[in-house]
Amino acid sequence: MVINMAEKKKTVSKKTSKTKEVKEQKIDNEIEEKIELPEKKKYSQEEIDAATKAAKSDMVKEIVPYIIIIIVVVIIRTFIMTPIDVSGESMYPTLHDNDIMLLYKLRLKTVGIRRFDIVVINTDEGKLIKRVIGLPGDKIKYEIVRDDDGNTKGILYINGETVEENFIDEAAKASTCKYNNIDICEKEVEVPKDEYYVMGDNRGNSKDSRIIGPVKKESIKGITSVVIFPFNRFGSVK
């Protein structure tokens, strides 16, 4: 019988391949027998609950400081003080347009409103920043006179006595009665109970109690006296 050489080589190749696969399988089995894989640990429900509780506790501990900070900021801004910006030139030169100041709210209850305090007032047209001139019950009058040198001067009378306004110059004082029909420039005016007579330091360019009348105590939201920005104006004002 004649055997084809190609078929003989093919048969030998198959046997060799099969023998190799058997040896590799045997080696794999021996390796698996020698290597002991650790068993996956099973946790009880109590351990799972404890781990979950610990994770939640850690999360709360991380969040609590931020919550406290937010609460403190809200309390401070609502009841103690808050930044406020100056809009306009009605308080110039004491305050400038775009100045940022601290508004003290708590002081309304602890100290109260005093004469010449700078206050922030809520109106239908927005917030006003003015200076308190007359307190509840005060009788106010303003006179424009000429001195011996012919210079115009403004004089503030409160309850029949002259009161110095050291926070403004003579030109500003002389402008107090610039507008027509200013009540305090024509006669003595009594400030009603729980109301305040306010004016801007820039008397010639200020919408205040000379025009809108005295403001109610409840409309005054706080007292301000410190500029915090711009930094070259940082500090207290008179």
| Active site positions, annotated | 90, 130
Give the span between the Cα atoms of 226 and 128, in whole angstroms: 16
Residues in the chain: 238
Q: What is the CA angle 32-36-40, rounded to 5?
A: 120
Picking from 105, 112, 107, the residue whose alpha carbon sits closest to that of residue 82 is 105
Cα 53 from Cα 46, distance rounded (Å): 10
CA 171 to chain CA centroid, nearest Å: 37
The closest alpha carbon to 120, from 128, 110, 111, belongs to: 128
Angstrom distance (rounded) from CA 72 to CA 74? 5
Q: In this structure, what are the phi and psi dihedrals at residue 74, rounded to the nearest 5 degrees?
A: -60, -45
Query: Residues 146-153: contacts with CB within 8 Å, 24+ apart?
Result: none
Q: How far apart are CA 223 and CA 129, in angstroms?
A: 9
Contact assessment for residue 101 and residue 229, using Cβ atoms and an 8 Å cutoff: no
